[in-house]
Amino acid sequence: MGENNTIWIEKYRPATLNDVVGQREIVERLKNYVGAQSLPHLLFTGTAGIGKTTSAVALAREFFGENWQVNFRELNASDERGIDVVRNQIKQFARTAPIGNATFKILFLDEADALTNDAQSALRRTMENYAHTCRFILSCNYSSKIIDPIQSRCAIYRFKPLDREAITEELKRIAKNEGLTISEAAMDAIIYVAQGDMRKAINALQGAAIINADISEDMIYEITSTAKPDEILELLHIILKGNFEAAENTLNELTVKRGIAPNELINQFYRTLVNDTTLDRRLKVELISHLGEADFRISEGADQNIQMEALMARCVLSAVNHGSTK
């Protein structure tokens, strides 16, 4: 544990595989490699903040002990993409002998799915040619973007988004250490905001802790610029009643006064709709489609306010047409 880090996501980054939460099966496998002192190439897939990098670093520490930093190298493929990275940088690291008692080095290539196909092709033989001095751990969001020949060369580990228990466990540990109290509602809020992403969760906690050691629900929503799920539900009900003025007012309240980004609002609205069990399916799909359209237009550079207002108008019309306003 890095004691001197001011940023908690570093300070509380697990140093050993045992401390990695929520990926028990994967951690057990990885520990076996350490026990056997052998390692194939690995491919870690999964969304952000669920332990891919942490596991790779912890694995390197356990393999190399003291010397881990010289025998471990982290490259981010989306920073330094392209075939020349593979041909030069990676080879440079891979070809030289490991230091200390280690029999190989570990190269961690984050966001490997950002590598072009050409670069991936070059990587695949490098992986084999230098296997005696270097093992590769590739990390990516979507394994489908990694070319088959590389998948074939790796043991693949699919990291799952962290569940409620995993995040709760970790946050409680941090809270204890930092002298914080987290209310039940505040914990729910963090879990809602984080969506299975530990990095987001810890960051939200640290942000709130600056305000007060007593962490409340409101602080979490405030610090992350997120609307409360109840507020989104309220907006949905207003729309279903067909009241455009009220919908527009609520929208302004959330975006202008509270500073919630339209993108974030759309995303939250989407989550609410998908999890809803009461709405007519066709109406639900229609509303989701409106959200997607607005999201797309905003991403293309359209004016956020106009698109959001138009979104409200469209949603209200759909509600009226489906007779939900009666």
Partner 1 sequence: MQDWVEKYRPKSLADIIGNKDCLRRMIEWARDWKPGVPPLLLYGKPGVGKTSSAYALANDMNWEVVELNASDQRTKGIIERVAGATATTMSLLGSQRKLLLLDEADNLHGTADMGGARAIIGVIKSSQQPIILIANDKYGVAKEIKALCELLQFRALQARSIVPHLKYLCSAENKTCNDNALMQIAESAGGDMRAAVNMLFAAGSGADTVSEESVSTAAKDQRSSIFELVGGILRGGADRRLMEMSYDLSDTPDTVEQWVEGALPQIKNPRDRTEAYGYLAQSDLYLGRTYLRQYYTLWKYATALMVIGTAAAAGGQGVTGNIMPPARWNRMAGAKKKKLVRQSVLIKAAFAYHMPENTLRDEYLKAFGMIADKDPLSFAKELSLDGDELDYIIDDKVRSAEVMKEIKREEKEQEKKEKAAQKAAEKARKSEKTVRIQDLAKATKTEKPEQPEKPDLNEPAESSVSIGSAASKSADEPENSEKVGKSAEKKPSETQSTLFSF
CA distance 145 to 43: 12
Q: Which is nearer to partner 1, 153 or 314 (CB)?
A: 153
Q: Considering the complex, what minimum distance in angstroms separates the CB of residue 203 from partner 1?
A: 20
Q: Considering the complex, what minimum distance in angstroms separates the CB of residue 169 from partner 1?
A: 21
CA distance 256 to 304: 12
86: helix, strand or coil = helix
Q: Residue 111 has which token pair?
A: 């966001």
Q: Which is nearer to partner 1, 258 or 284 (CB)?
A: 284
Beta-bridge partners for 107:
73, 136
Q: Which is nearer to partner 1, 5 or 96 (CB)?
A: 96
Q: Residue 300 has which token pair?
A: 């293309």
CA distance 139 to 53: 8
Q: Which is nearer to partner 1, 35 or 179 (CB)?
A: 35
The residues binding partner 1 (CB under 8 A) are 25-26, 28-29, 31-41, 45, 83, 86-87, 91, 103, 118, 121-126, 128-129, 131-132, 135, 142-144, 148-149, 151-158, 263, 267, 270, 274-277, 281-282, 284-285, 288-289, 291-292, 295-296, 299-300
Question: For residue 21, what are the CA distances in angstroms to 80, 141, 189, 214?
Answer: 30, 19, 20, 24
Q: Which is nearer to partner 1, 285 or 302 (CB)?
A: 285
DSSP states of 21-65: -S-HHHHHHHHHHHHHT---EEEEE--TTSSHHHHHHHHHHHHHG
Q: Considering the complex, what minimum distance in angstroms separates the CB of residue 154 from partner 1?
A: 7
Q: Which is nearer to partner 1, 138 or 291 (CB)?
A: 291
Q: Considering the complex, what minimum distance in angstroms separates the CB of residue 36 from partner 1?
A: 4
Q: Considering the complex, what minimum distance in angstroms separates the CB of residue 37 from partner 1?
A: 5
CA distance 13 to 3: 11
Q: Considering the complex, what minimum distance in angstroms separates the CB of residue 129 from partner 1?
A: 7
Chain-centroid distance of CA 124 in Å reads: 27
